[in-house]
Amino acid sequence: MIVNQQTLRGIYTSFKVIFQKAFEQSQPKWEKVATFVPSTTREENYKWLGKFPKMREWIGDREIQNLEASDYTLKNKDYELTVGVDRNDIEDDSIGIYNPIVEEMGQSAASHPDYLVFGLLRNGFKNLCYDKKPFFAADHKLGKKTVSNKGTKKLSPESYSAARTEIMSLTDEKDNPLNLVPNLLVVAPKNEAEGRKILLADQIDGTTNTLKGTAELLVVPELAGADDAWYLLCTNRPLKPLIYQKRKEPKFVSLTNETDTNVFMKKQFLYGVDGRSNAGYGFWQMAYGSTGEEA
C-alpha cells in the first residue's frame, strides 16, 4: 500500500468508525451511582452540598436555603490514550491488525468514568468529601449530632440490615427525616455470592429472607483488590451519592503528517483519544460503606 495523505485519511476514517462503534456499544455502570454534571469551565464548585432542600410551611418571610455550606471544588483533569502504527504495517497492508486495539480504545474511553467513579467508593474511607471528613467516616456532623456512615463488618444479612437501618434513620440538623431509602448494594466480585444470597434468596438458613428484594445488586470488577469492602447506596433521588463531571467528550484524534516528529524520526503514525473530566463525592448521607475487615 502506498503511504500518502489519501491513504492516511482512509485509515483515520476507518479507525474512527471502529472507535465510535465500540464507544457507543459499551455499557458503563457509573450512571447508577453518580449524578452527571456537564462542566463549562476549568473547575466546578459544589457549594450547594451540605444541605438537603426540603419544603416547609411558609410562616413569615421565605427561608433562604444556605448554598454556601461547603467549598467543595472539582477540577477537571486531562486523560488520554494513544497508540502508534508503524509505517511498515501500512506499506505491507497489515493495518487490520490494529482494528482490535482501536476497538479496545473505544471501550476504554467509554468505561473510563467507571474507573473514576467506583475508585471513589474504593478510596472513600480516606478521601475527603465536602465536610472535610472521609466520605465514609464515623464522625460526620449534622448540626450538633455526630453521625457514622462507616462500618467494619463483613457483608452478611445482619450487617446489611444494620446499614440499611442507619441510612433510613438519618435526620437533618433540625431532626426532620431525610426519607432516604437505600436501593443499591455495590460489591466487588468476591462478595457477589453473599450479595445474591441477601437480596435474592427466598430463605437463609431455613428462615424466610425478609431482606429479599430490598435493593438491587451491582457487582463491580473495578472494585477488585478491595475485596471485602461493600457499599449500600441511595440512588433513587435526583441527586446521587457521587458526581461525574465532564468538561470534554472523549475525542478521537491523529498525528500523521510527514513533517510530524513521530513520523519523521520514528516512522510512527499516532492515533489517540483524549478528554477532560473528573469525579467526586456528593452527599455522604446517601451512602454507607464497610471495610469488611471484621467478622
Which domain range does residue 75 map to? 5-294
Query: 245 burial class (0-12, 13-18, 19+ CB within 10 angstroms)?
Result: buried
Examine the pLDDT at 61 and tell me if it is beyond 80: no
Residue among 238, 202, 242 nearest 218 (CA)? 242
Kindly report, residue by residue over 135-154, the tens digit of the pLDDT: 999 999 988 899 999 999 99
Q: Kindly state the average pLDDT of the residues 229-240.
A: 96
Rounded CA separation 172/268 (Å): 59
Rounded CA separation 211/219 (Å): 18
Kindly report, residue by residue over 211-221, the tens digit of the pLDDT: 999 999 999 99
Grid cell listed for 156: 452478611
Average pLDDT taken over every residue of the chain: 93
Rounded CA separation 249/273 (Å): 10
* Total domains present in the chain: 1
CA-based radius of gyration for the chain? 24
Residue 185 belongs to a domain with what CATH number? 3.90.1690
